[in-house]
Amino acid sequence: MENLFNSFHSNKYITKKSITELRCGIPVLLYNSNNNLLIFPSELVDHPLLSTLKKHFKDINILVTGNRLNFIFQSSGNQLSRIKIKESHDLEYISSLLIGQEFHNREYFAIDNLIISTNPLDKTAISLIKLAKLLPSAIAIDISSSNILEWCTKNNITPIKQEIIDNYNEEYEIQEVCSSPLFLKDCPNAQINVYRSHTGELEHYAIIIGNPDYNNPIIRIHSSCYTGDLLNSLSCDCRCQLHTAIKLMIENKGGIILYLAQDGRGIGLANKIRTYQLQIKHNFDTVDANRFFGFEDDERVFIPAIKILQKLGISRLQLLTNNPNKISEIQNNGIQITKILPIFVDTNQHNINYINTKAKRLGHVC
């Protein structure tokens, strides 16, 4: 049955299907040769589901990342852990683990309920939840079955091998969907190429400005920013960086902007808006706001940019960036950077802390 299943459900299809189902509030099952783990996004749990789970399963856990636990317990050094759900625990308890800001009664989180994760599927579960752009926490239930694929078929659950998610970046592929001339305000001679991955995520774009030298073009890898690029928010420098890059490329006869669908440094727009509330109402910086919800400081991966560069036949480039992570990832994937061009923008009272945080805590050149 496993061979039949794997021949029918390719890795590409099963990854896309599992992400879609999680976003729709449908559980999926992760498995390897030793363990089976039923997972469900913690933020989508409601009263009927919680009641059903308690009725059918004895041991129900919530996976909580180390970064989130650091805020819950106001101490550093925590690791990905399981917190066992007791009969008395309700949605308010689960919500407090995800987004609660004050913990007046520390005994509420009894130490005997928390166990550092030792199951490798737990880490994979968090990775899969992040791919779905949901808060990085999951309801996790160990499933014992001699034939897990048969169990999944009987219960209408999608099974997914751990290695499929663990090897996500290595097996990531994109294809060009379409392209068209693009008439920009300051550059009527432009073109846009649209690229789509196999996972069903939002499309990425290559915006070709003028007539770049493909042997050594100016490249800007720009992560999408709905609030900045489109709404002209003053809270970040994204729109200014984007338009400064376009202007510089026009002045140098051409360049290419790789516009990646990675809003909020890879956490997604909804989660970015969650962090905005902390930044505005509670004076968090962008790093601590990410960590508060359990994310890493920067969740982006630049493999889509690498794949687009390969599609365009570019192996040498001048990189327009202030971000050392972009530099190292480009170089680690065999592409030569002939020149690094920092990009400087104006500051204002709303984005000065944001820019200072990038410099002081993320190592950006600002």
Examine the residue annotation and report whether 300 is marked as an active-site residue of this protein: yes
Q: What's the CA gap between 47 and 107, in Å, rounded?
A: 24
Q: In this structure, what token pair is assigned to residue 81?
A: 């852990």
Examine the residue annotation and report whether 68 is marked as an active-site residue of this protein: no
Q: In this structure, what token pair is assigned to residue 323?
A: 């971000």
**Nearest partner of 119 among 155, 79, 73, judged by Cα:** 79
Q: What's the CA gap between 68 and 73, in Å, rounded?
A: 9
Q: Which ranges in the chain belong to alpha helices (H)?
A: 2-8, 11-23, 47-56, 66-73, 91-99, 120-131, 148-155, 162-166, 238-251, 269-282, 286-292, 303-311, 324-332, 352-362
Residue 147 contacts by C-beta under 8 Å, 6 or more apart in sequence? 1
59, 196, 298, 361: the catalytic one is: 298
297, 300, 346, 361: the catalytic one is: 300
Q: What's the CA gap between 299 and 287, in Å, rounded?
A: 11
Is 69 in contact with 162 (CB distance < 8 Å)? no
Catalytic residues: 298, 300
